[in-house]
Amino acid sequence: MGNCILRRALWCLILFVCYTQLTYAFSVKDESGIVFFIHSEEDDTCSIVIVPNQDHVTIASSYSYKGKSYTPVEIEDGACMNNDLMTSIILPSTIKRLGQSAFNGCIKLRNISLPNGVTTINPYCFANCTSLTGFTAPAALTRIGQSAFSNSGIEHVELGEQIEEIGSSAFAHCEKLQGFRLSSLVIQTISRSLFRECNSLVGVTLPNTITSIESNAFENCSKLAAIDLPDSLRMLGGDAFEGCTSLTHVEMPSGVILGVCLRSYPFIKSIHFTKGSRPVIDDAFYFSMPNLKSLTFDEGITEITGSAFSGCDSLESVIFPTSMRYIRHNAFQRCESLEHVVLPPNLITIGDEVFSYCSSLKRIVLPVTLDTIGRRAFNDCIALEDVEFPRNLKVIGDDAFNQCSSLKSVKTGGELETIGFAAFERAGVQQLTLGESLKSIEDNAFAYCNITEVYSWNPQPPVIEFNTFNTVTTQNAILTVPAEAVDAYKEATYWKNFKNIVGKDLSAVNQIDNKDISVVIQNGQIVVGGVKDVRIEVYNMQGHLVYCGFDTMIEMPTSGLYLVKVGTQVFKVKI
């Protein structure tokens, strides 16, 4: 019995001690009117809870209660909120944290020096401090909360290497903010609406750690005329630069994914893709830049992926790097202002529908390295007049030049093997030359074409289908074949439907008289004489192809030695 009573007494004592410890925390008001909060009897720290509304305020480095000193480490949530008389406050070096809305609405606060030990500025801490023009970020600062400085009078911000996070809208509606520099070694995200409505912002410097700029980050920063986006950037949120009407040119890292928001950047007229070999990503600028006129790319970028610039219907000029190898499906679909395109000299593949519905495209220069033209690649390019197919081309895909009604002449390269289904259906082809390696032409390839001349140089008749050529062509066109292959064509399935088959000696076809060719330098340009419609290639002394086409006046980007190949002849020139 006695032991039971003793145990109960011991439990009551333990509960009493715990209760007194839990309930010890309380607030104390000192003689200056500042209220501080003591967390526990054992702890020698306190928080500042209430600061009196007066002109100048100094937070002491320690406060006493019952003979014991307590060190302030935190300005609590709302401690100075709406103190409309406060113009300055001095904080001790012991402060580590500034609470939510700690100084929110202090409309006369002009000066504050944050202690070096402050690690966190919580949400809305300095919101609506319209007289606060600047602050020096402490070296230990790692986090700035949501809307921490929103609608303040801050003019310049410089944040150091330790910053890990800046909350959404942290500097939104700072109408006087002109410059922002971030030097963090770890931060990865520019948060949503971070600089929204900062209509005086003209300069922003971001570190090469940023991988994402979220939606509306710079919305309506109407004076922002330039921004150097870091090469680390991967994601650019929808409307990130909406309303940045002064931002007409962008230096854009390759590989950026643009958040979908149709036609949100009508003010951007040119983009230069910089630094690195990452591809331009699927749908990156899909229907988002209706007034984009020109594109340029740095060397090292090897690929443009699907639908990247689809619907950029004001695009007029694209300058590709020599490193570009692949242009994937729909990349420039419905770029209705493109008239002339010189593709990069090392391109291997033009994907499906890359230039489909480019209704103003008149001429395309295909490089000698090109292997494949994909399905519908130039479908409905109704203005296309001139295409020279390179010798190395192996495949012309289905519907590749369907509805190209202005294309009058087609001369395929010597290594072409396949022409796909309806590849030139309803095109304007009148003269057709087929190379010596062609193996097959699919059905409807030249349906609805009124061809008058067909040249087929393969001694073995390629496989064709019943509707490869329409009846008008087979009845009226002259089919010219190698002299020794006339009988083979007259007996071959569907070729024999041609009523006019003639032979020709190929030994003299496409020969260039060397004595008539000249290559000279005039006014810093390479000028080729004595040729017409002959492919010209220019190589630098490192062996890189720098030009491929049919122009006889060629401008080089730099001075130096070049090799000029005209047909089978090679000339060395110096600019």
Written in H, E and C, the secondary structure of 89-146 is EECCCCCCEECCCCCCCCCCCCEEECCCCCCEECCCCCCCCCCCCECCCCCCCCEECC
Token digits of residue 397: 């895909």
Question: For position 281, what pLDDT does the model report?
Answer: 63
C-alpha–C-alpha distance, residues 574 and 507, integer Å? 35
pLDDT of residue 393: 93
Alpha carbon distance 171, 216 (integer Å): 12
User: What pLDDT, on a 0 to 100 scale, did the predictor assign at position 259?
Assistant: 67
Q: For the residues of 340-367, what is the DSSP string, one character each?
A: EEE--TT--EE-TTTTTT-TT--EEE--
Going from the C-alpha of 547 to that of each of 469, 526, 532, 571, the distances in angstroms are 36, 11, 17, 14
Q: How many residues does the chain have?
A: 575
Place of tokens 């909406």: 242
First to last CA, the chain: 113
Look up residue 280 and give its DSSP letter: B
Maximum pairwise Cα distance, the chain? 129
Main-chain dihedrals φ then ψ at residue 439, nearest 5 degrees = -105, -35
Q: How far apart are CA 348 and CA 322, in angstroms?
A: 12
Decide: 327 and 354 in contact? Cβ < 8 Å: yes
Q: Amino acid identity of 332?
A: F
Say what the pLDDT of residue 223 is.
96
pLDDT at 18: 42
Give the C-alpha separation, 362 to 250, whole Å.
Answer: 28
The CA distance from 247 to 242, in Å, is: 10
Summarised one tens digit per residue, pLDDT across range 344-374 is 889 999 999 999 999 999 988 888 889 999 9
Q: In one letter, which amino acid is 346?
A: N
* Predicted pLDDT of residue 262: 47
> Cα 158–161–164 angle (5° rounding)?
95
The helix or strand, by DSSP H or E, that contains position 471, with its residue range, turns out to be helix 471-476
- DSSP code string of 247-266: --EEEEETTPEEPP-TT--T
How high is the pLDDT of residue 273? 85
Q: Is the CB of residue 132 less than 8 Å from the CB of residue 112?
A: yes
Within 13 Å of residue 130, how many CA atoms lie on the same side as its CB?
A: 6
What is residue 436's DSSP assignment? T
The alpha carbon torsion through 451, 456, 462, 468 (nearest 10 deg) reads 0
Helix, strand and coil content of the chain, in percent to the nearest 5, comes to: 10, 30, 65
Residue 80 tokens, joined: 């100075």
Distance (Å, rounded) from C-alpha 127 to C-alpha 51?
A: 17
User: Which of the residues in the chain have pLDDT under 70?
Assistant: 1-25, 259-264, 275-278, 281-284, 286-287, 506-515, 542-543
Beta carbons of 176 and 149 less than 8 angstroms apart? no
Q: Per-residue pLDDT tens for 509-555?
A: 444 445 578 898 888 889 998 887 777 888 887 667 778 777 888 88
Which pair of tokens denotes residue 135? 């602050």
Please state whether beta strands 340-342 and 363-365 pair in parallel, antiparallel, or not at all (unpaired): parallel
CB 406 within 8 A of CB 430: no
